[in-house]
Amino acid sequence: MSSIPHVVGMVHLLPLPGSPGFNGSMDEVVETAVSDASDLAKAGFPALMIENFGDVPFFADAVPAEAVSAMTVAAIGVSDATGVPFGINVLRNDAHSALGIAAATGAAFIRVNVLTGTMYTDQGPVVGQAAEVLRKRNELAPGVEIWADVMVKHAAAPAGIDARQAAADTVERGRADAVIVSGSGTGAEPGIHEAAVVRAAVPTGTRVVIGSGASASNLSRLKGTADSVIVGSSIKTDGHALNRVDPLRAARFIEAALENGLL
């Protein structure tokens, strides 16, 4: 079983250089990331996930060099300020860049939206590259875990593919260290049935992670089918993913995680 903590708080980066929403200040990107990460650490979050959430519209796979550079700078800032273990997710599906950032910054894990198979997304078809990703990990960062989505949010699977087969392939053929189950979109709670199907499909000891929709109020229900949880929207001001971290909401989530044995 992974040594990475079972509760992960999201650090959603502001738009980075080169993206349509970038406001011209990399200092603000880093300062905001460090502030949100520090609030999460103070609330008791034992791990973080850094993601280029502000870079809409996303590239389907490879992101530009300026985005990789900016995420690396932000990750170093967060790490230096908090000392908390963290992961990297480069949206939409740039696992190679995520591994590069992890190797440069000491990240413990990466999130990969599509590791195996194909998903139809708002970026068009996104195709998994497990063969390349696993070999790149061996080359750059062999200790970094790969957490891979099953039937990723904001996407549809090809006809004939279900969560059971997708989960089994992600672990047995894609060699993921953990599988992530999410709802239909950002902040949407996953179906308990689908999470149970994924749990039954993967080998014993594989970590199952809730990837969206977790909150202090539903954690007791979600924990029955998952080992870990990644939380973002519900710990933000007004429960909206684009807003800043709300320290009170973050603290309430940690209280719920403690009550439910996740910490």
Q: Would you state the pLDDT for residue 251? A: 98
The residue among 191, 209, 168 whose CA lies nearest residue 1 is: 209
Compute φ and ψ for 210, nearest 5 degrees: -80, 125
Between CA 219 and CA 197 the distance in angstroms is 19
The confidence score (pLDDT) of residue 21 equals 97
How would you list the strands of the sheet with 155-156, edge to edge? 124-127, 118-121, 155-156
Provide the pLDDT for residue 188.
85
Q: How many CB atoms lie within 10 A of CB 172?
A: 14
Pairing of strands 124-127, 118-121: antiparallel
The whole-angstrom separation of Cα 257 and Cα 263 is 6
**Coil, strand, or helix at residue 33?**
helix
The terminus-to-terminus CA distance of the chain in angstroms comes to 15
Residue 140: predicted pLDDT: 96
Q: What gap in Å lies between CA 121 and CA 108, rounded to an integer?
A: 27
Spatial separation of the C-alpha atoms in residues 241 and 11, rounded to whole Å: 10
- Joined together, the tokens standing for residue 106 give 């000491």
Question: Is the separation of the CB atoms in 87 and 107 below 8 Å?
Answer: yes
Query: Residues 110, 144: contact at Cβ < 8 Å?
Result: yes
Other beta carbons less than 10 A from residue 220's beta carbon: 12
Does the structural domain 7-259 have CATH classification 3.40.50.300?
no
Collapsed DSSP state (helix, strand, coil) of residue 175? coil
Predicted TM-score of the model (pTM): 0.96
Provide the residue-wise pLDDT of the chain in tens; the chain has 263 residues.
478 899 999 999 999 999 999 999 999 999 999 999 999 999 999 999 999 999 999 999 999 999 999 999 999 999 999 999 999 999 999 999 999 999 999 999 999 999 999 999 999 999 999 999 999 999 999 999 999 999 999 999 999 899 999 999 999 999 999 999 998 889 888 888 889 999 999 999 999 999 999 999 999 999 888 999 999 999 999 999 999 999 999 999 999 999 999 99
Cα–Cα nearest to 211, from 263, 150, 155, 124: 150
Q: Are 82 and 37 in contact (CB under 8 A)?
A: yes
pLDDT, residue 1, reads 46
